[in-house]
Structure 1
Amino acid sequence: MINGAHVIIYSQDAEADRAFLRDVLGYPHVDAGHGWLIFKLPPAEVAVHPAEGSGSHELFLMCDDLAETIADLESRGVEFPDPPEEARWGILTTIRLPGGGDLGLYQPHHEPAYDL
């Protein structure tokens, strides 16, 4: 029986991004050995979108109030390279990770599936 999902974020600076998840976002974690931290994520849901070719995968964190979440994270030094954008399914933006990658953040307009 499947009992969870494991998400991988590839990074140019894994140490910095691990520290960000641990210290800035405050995610609980376990050490899998040699500093490889595995983080507990908030409840999750998965959607399947059409794609041409082999497609790709994305990770978006979700919040109840995007403006409030942005203000809180900016007070902790988090950089947002893109202003919030209204989409049919929610309001979204991007968090810049210390390792240079981006992580999606959005406030959904739909009922979250993780409460089902």
Structure 2
Amino acid sequence: MISGSHVILYSQDAEADRTFLRDVLGFPGVDAGGGWLIFKLPPAEVAVHPTEDAPRHEFYLMCDDLHAQLGQLRAQGVEVTRPVSEQRWGLLTAVRLPSGAELPLYQPLHPVAHSL
């Protein structure tokens, strides 16, 4: 039986990004040994989209109120890297991780599966 999913973010500054997940986003975690942190994520869902290009994977964090979440993140000094845009499926933006990578955030305007 499948009991969960495991997302891997590759980072050029893994320690700083782990600290961001723990201290800024408040994700609880466990030490898998030697300071290797693994974080509990909010409920998740997976979608499969068609593509004509090479297959790829994306990771987004979902928010119930994107504008309120951005206010909280900005108050903690987090850089918002994209203006909020309205897509057919939701409100979309991204924030800067300490490593320099972007982490997309969105507020879905579609039915969600994560609480089924």
**TM exceeding 0.5:** yes
Residues 30-69 of structure 1 show CA distances to partners (whole Å, capped at 9, x for unaligned) of: 0011111000000000111111243210100001111111
> Which residue in 2 is equivalent to 1:28?
28
Shift of 1:95: 1.3
Matched letter for residue 113 of structure 1: A
TM-score by length of 1: 0.97
**Ranges of 4+ aligned residues in structure 1 off by more than 3 Å:** none
> Which residue in 1 is equivalent to 2:46?
46
> Which residue in 2 is equivalent to 1:113?
113
> Which residue in 2 is equivalent to 1:4?
4
Q: Pairwise CA RMSD of aligned residues?
A: 0.8
> Which residue in 2 is equivalent to 1:83?
83
TM-score by length of 2: 0.97
Equivalent pairs: percent with the same residue?
A: 65
What is the aligned length?
116
Q: For 2:73 and 2:29, how far apart are their aligned partners in 1? A: 20
Gaps of 5+ in 1: none
Matched letter for residue 70 of structure 1: L
Shift of 1:29: 0.2
Residues 83-105 of structure 1 show CA distances to partners (whole Å, capped at 9, x for unaligned) of: 00110000000111001111110
Alignment of 1:97 with 2:78, yes or no, is no
